[in-house]
Structure 1
Amino acid sequence: MDLEVSEPINFSSGDQLHLVRKASDNEDGQPKSGQHYTSSPSAGQKQTPGNPKSKADQRAGVYVVQISDENSPDDSNANADNPFSDSSVRRAFIRKVFLLLTMQLVVTGAVVSVFLFWRNLKVWILLNPWFTYALLAAFFVVLFVLACCGDLRRQVPANYILLGLFTVLQGLLLGTVSVFYNAEEVLWAIGATALVTLSLTFFALQTKWDFTLLSGVLFVSLLILLIYGILIIFIRSYWLHLVYAGLGTVIFSLYLVMDVQLMVGGRHYHSNLDPEEYVFAALNIYLDITNIFLFILQLIGLAR
């Protein structure tokens, strides 16, 4: 049986049934009814008697198939349901996320600098540990609201206010951590974090590897890292702390690549962020960067 591409067959209207009937009637290349069919896009075309020496007989068993590039109704509905199918929407989303992320990093850097170079503030933080615990409580409350209240983080200006408050709290927490290190160590950690962040961002944008498939593996790794961190509070070991800092750097580096690919979307397996989730996307990448900074700072402090 030969197939010839000629006139279109509309598969959505049932023309394929006509093609299947003709194929079943021509098993082994001969029609069972002794009649031949002529190629036609219509399912209702009448049969004509065969002539062994006619041209129609030479085309027996030759059927017409055309593959159409038109989208099926399901594909059209899927594209309509996905706002990111419009490239302009996706570009506007990415610009907004990077703008928010840049402002967060600038504010965080300014707050950390105050703790780093104001000696009296350093002494006050060391003498009043309650301040750090109060910051931790407020930090987790705001993080919980941003992570769990989807309607609130999409509502302007509440989402900007919460994100700004969260950024200030994170900057204060990083500042309280930096007082336990020398200024030189903190600056080295900032430089290393900037280099790692830029490198991994460009890698995430250019690579063909889909890191969004690792979301489950990374979540389990994060839980293991959390349990490991609780254990080393009670086990004082230089090597255990070094391994902990190294694992944390690797895990959050992978998280950074995954979150950048989630933001960019496109060909990746998981890319279902809503265009109104720019605050959530910026929050994820910001947390990845700050955690990379903390673990690199630990590595530098242990190395010295």
Structure 2
Amino acid sequence: MSSKTDSPPSYEDTLKDPKLNNYPFQTQHGAPLPPPPPYSPSPGMCPGPGFPPAAMPIPTLSAGLSASSPGEMDDFFSTQWESTSIRHAFIRKVYLILTVQLAFTFAVVGVFTFVNPVKMFVTQYPAIYWASFAVFFLVYCILICCKEPRRRFPLNLVLLGIFTVALSYMAGTVSSYYETKAVIIAMGITGVVCIAVTVFCFQTKVDFTSCGGFLCIAAVLLMIIGIVTSIVLSFQYVPWLHMLYAAIGAIVYTLFLVYNTQLLIGNRELAISPEEYIYGALSLYIDIVQIFLFILQVSGAATE
């Protein structure tokens, strides 16, 4: 047993005399042990055994957004939804304009096909056809060069109406030179081709918007073949060459219809701005009318 003098000083004595702090630490009977010092591993250090691992960031499906920012996630998905809704509204607007154009065009074609006095008048005065061709080309160039569609909306809409009337008159005058049976066949085939192309563009994963250079080369070759065909047919050589040229033209403009439709959809490498709805309707309208005219030449040559 230790003597009373060997016992450690009391707590009150220690507070009165700081020298007694140097007394060797001994635990008293019934006194609680001092708590261990807190442990907080520094960044980059591996915790020792017995300690829980440091928290690590968990990857999320937020396309680069951290899991601790749900507001940013909501903004991201709302932005995606708004862009999709804007694109759908743009597509509906373009097809509404296109439907009005095609309805007017085929109504004019029907008048020039089924009304004999109008048909005879057009065939007697071909200068009117060339005048409509000049108006069509001039207005088309103006519409292509016009920018800032919001500021020039009324002007673009008026020009689009003039362009539709000019191209409809052209299609009507061309149809007046063919039999009624050939015109009806061409209309039916054109409708089937347009529906098939539209369904194909909305379903396929093939990107035709990256083939713009190939389509430009095809258009130049089609123009050269057309010039050669007109020269050859003027001497009445190779009569089937005209039908071959028309078939090639129908194929080329079908590819242009695929290209412009995918530009309109907007989920490919290239896309049309939602503000360019007049240009979108114009490009599809020209493709469809040209397909009809080329198919009309093929069906007309086949029925003769």
Q: TM bucket by the smaller chain?
A: 0.7 to 0.9
* Deviation of the 1:292 alpha carbon: 0.6
Are 2:154 and 1:157 aligned? Answer: yes
Match of 2:282 in 1: 283
User: 1:265-295 deviations in whole A, cap 9, x for unaligned?
Assistant: 12x1112x11111111011111111011011
* Deviation of the 1:149 alpha carbon: 1.0
Q: How far, CA to CA, are the matches of 1:302 and 1:154 in structure 2? A: 47
Q: How far, CA to CA, are the matches of 2:129 and 2:139 in structure 1? A: 16
Q: How far, CA to CA, are the matches of 1:119 and 1:191 in structure 2? A: 22
* Deviation of the 1:118 alpha carbon: 2.3
Name the % identity: 38
Q: How far, CA to CA, are the matches of 2:50 and 2:213 in structure 1? A: 63
8 A contact 1:211–1:261 mirrored in 2: yes
User: 1:78-135 deviations in whole A, cap 9, x for unaligned?
Assistant: x89x999622111111110110010001110111122112222222222222111111
Larger gyration radius, structure 1 or structure 2: 2
Q: How far, CA to CA, are the matches of 2:151 and 2:221 in structure 1? A: 32
* Deviation of the 1:155 alpha carbon: 2.5
* Deviation of the 1:168 alpha carbon: 0.7
SS in 1 for 2:153: coil
Match of 1:270 in 2: 270
Out of 157-166 and 284-293, give the one that drifted further: 157-166
SS in 2 for 1:295: helix
Change in CA separation of 1:166 and 1:154 when aligned onto 2, cut-off 3 Å: farther
Are 2:188 and 1:191 aligned? Answer: yes
Match of 1:261 in 2: 262
Amino acid at match of 1:294: L
Amino acid at match of 2:301: L
Structure 2: runs of 5+ lacking an equivalent: 1-39, 66-72
* Deviation of the 1:66 alpha carbon: 4.2
SS in 2 for 1:235: helix
Are 2:208 and 1:211 aligned? Answer: yes
Amino acid at match of 1:292: I
Q: How far, CA to CA, are the matches of 2:212 and 2:150 in structure 1? A: 22
* Deviation of the 1:151 alpha carbon: 2.6
Change in CA separation of 1:138 and 1:83 when aligned onto 2, cut-off 3 Å: farther
Q: How far, CA to CA, are the matches of 2:155 and 2:81 in structure 1? A: 24
* Deviation of the 1:183 alpha carbon: 1.2
Q: How far, CA to CA, are the matches of 2:240 and 2:150 in structure 1? A: 41
Change in CA separation of 1:68 and 1:279 when aligned onto 2, cut-off 3 Å: same
8 A contact 1:83–1:89 mirrored in 2: no
Q: How far, CA to CA, are the matches of 1:181 and 1:106 in structure 2? A: 20
Q: How far, CA to CA, are the matches of 1:154 and 1:115 in structure 2? A: 37
Are 2:172 and 1:175 aligned? Answer: yes
Give 1:1-304 correspondences, 5 Å limit.
45=43, 47=45, 54=49, 66-71=58-63, 86-151=83-148, 155-236=152-233, 237-266=238-267, 268-271=268-271, 273-304=272-303
User: 1:199-227 deviations in whole A, cap 9, x for unaligned?
Assistant: 11111111122121222211110111011
Q: How far, CA to CA, are the matches of 1:118 and 1:71 in structure 2? A: 62
Q: How far, CA to CA, are the matches of 2:165 and 2:80 in structure 1? A: 32
Structure 1: runs of 5+ lacking an equivalent: 1-38
Out of 109-118 and 220-229, give the one that drifted further: 109-118
Change in CA separation of 1:232 and 1:154 when aligned onto 2, cut-off 3 Å: farther
Amino acid at match of 1:146: L
SS in 1 for 2:182: helix
SS in 2 for 1:181: coil
8 A contact 1:190–1:293 mirrored in 2: yes
Q: How far, CA to CA, are the matches of 1:70 and 1:194 in structure 2? A: 44
User: 1:211-252 deviations in whole A, cap 9, x for unaligned?
Assistant: 212222111101110111011111122232222111111111
- Number of residue pairs aligned between Structure 1 and Structure 2: 252
SS in 2 for 1:67: coil
Change in CA separation of 1:83 and 1:158 when aligned onto 2, cut-off 3 Å: farther
